Structure 1
């Protein structure tokens, strides 16, 4: 026991001496490597070796100058770790990475998904403090997978255009699957409106893409085909506002969009049209995690030659305007209602009710939602643009709100 104490005391004195020597060394000189090698020699005495290494580590920390708060993160560099004489391992090069920089180029922190801002501001990144920068993928409409039951299914799609009516009927089933993919990215920002402060508004230009498919998964007799797939790319310009309205509402944005929608099929099932639309949105904050939002859109179809029109009069069925409302009851629970109208005396259009609810196991930290949807009207798909359907969908969705 006396010999062990002497060895431990000797190791600590050696480490202390090394620390004093390094403290007195001029700035910029390399510390001696004998400290850690002396500790390595005590491998037969674990407690003494641990104490020696601790004293050596403390001496290294004491000699490290504090980083300047205003200095930039250093670039990545390569250094050489010392050889290990006990194991015979040669010296190895180690890559030292700089600290990650989470600041924007102008020096202000990027406030991506900052919960201090409203839902509309976060979704469309209307303010400097909600900016997630350009060319990153965001969700747009819900990405969903659901089981669908309807009161009818279009077994022989038709259109008034010549050569656009299916020649034979298919034995499609009314129960099927629906898959929706929808993403967007911000192409540009600060084109007409911007500012240096986090509260300042900034306009933006977006590209979005939505794809919706009906899949006859349960129809083995027809080899489970995809009955219909619609593609919808669009370009959207968003101009932010902060205009107080009556009742605690706030008008937050105006927008201009150009959208193409088609099903990518050959005749006689080809369907497509192009629209330009105006939009506006307002919201009312009810609480820390509760709000109301209203968004309106009105569109005009771009004219096509009569010989190129797959679906004449589609706007008389699908509609010319849309009003969408959403009630965010809590961070994990929301209700939405979307109404479309033809704006003609012969009123047609559709109504869609959406209810989303997060799983109880993770209500606040995931975009996963149980999704219940009820649709009634025209335009559930392009093939069904002139056929009224009632559709109930139940499934899972990923949301980006």
Structure 2
């Protein structure tokens, strides 16, 4: 019997309501975060900032994302997701409302760091993985994290419409108000998930999930963290300096904006696609091999190829630049669904919050290093080498995924529970 047929109507409604609420919330948060791109010119003029100082705003966000994700994971295990959500979203909304009125750039960077805590990827993924069983989890997480690209694109578009009419400060507040309305909808839709049937069976078979206190001893979790570090290096690096590179090729501002938008928007498709493919492979390969195979060959392999070819094809004209930017943009986001489903697949939903937090903490360093270091490398040695380095991070991530997929430990015993036919 299929999963859909064997799931109770109440649980089926609950999991799709949770997916809707979490996806909406994450989209609105990322809409608010992209308001920064609207404010940077004004901030540069007001505070006399160099491009390096402006980049610190992006680095502060990723630092908050990484450190915040780690603590959110620990708080979920100790106080539950609802209290964690209230703490994080309150800090996020206050920081978002204060940035337009603060007159000290150092304080703005601190607020930007607090905004980064509001990315809530660890929190939202923990909620979704507690509702969806293993063979549906990758696609569900992929849909959720596809909201990042959608929210970022919509945020830039809406901010671009409102800023000439209202000014960037009022635009910040309007988008923050939308986020506050999203909080109300989120709380109405998202409920606590009942235990998954597959985890009940695992407990009966004495293959119960790992305790949150023991996750740091799980070597595969550290390998996943290293692989995700490579993904962050590749993806956040590409997002931060693609436009800077394209301007060196004398593309117009409109052409650069179109290429960058399509580079990001393709993730709305590739993120759920990667999760869906990995779900289809779970029955034949088991969760670990299914997720890592998808990450290695259908995501990071594409990312490496695309980034390596950017400096060779982009100079040929606008059309080729669009195509290769979309290839590069497809790659790393496709790892989101498979990669961030793995902690719950391997350790059980009770430990998924702290496990996701650890993975994001390790990964965040990649998102901080690449936007700062690679442009400096480009200034010294040229953009071709810079893009090769960006591609190399995807190759390293591919190799780590293959190593992770080949690993065998005691928790491999979870595979039968993950592939059963009557998951809740």
- The alignment's TM-score, normalised by the length of structure 1, stands at 0.25
Larger Rg: 1
Higher percent of residues as helix: 2
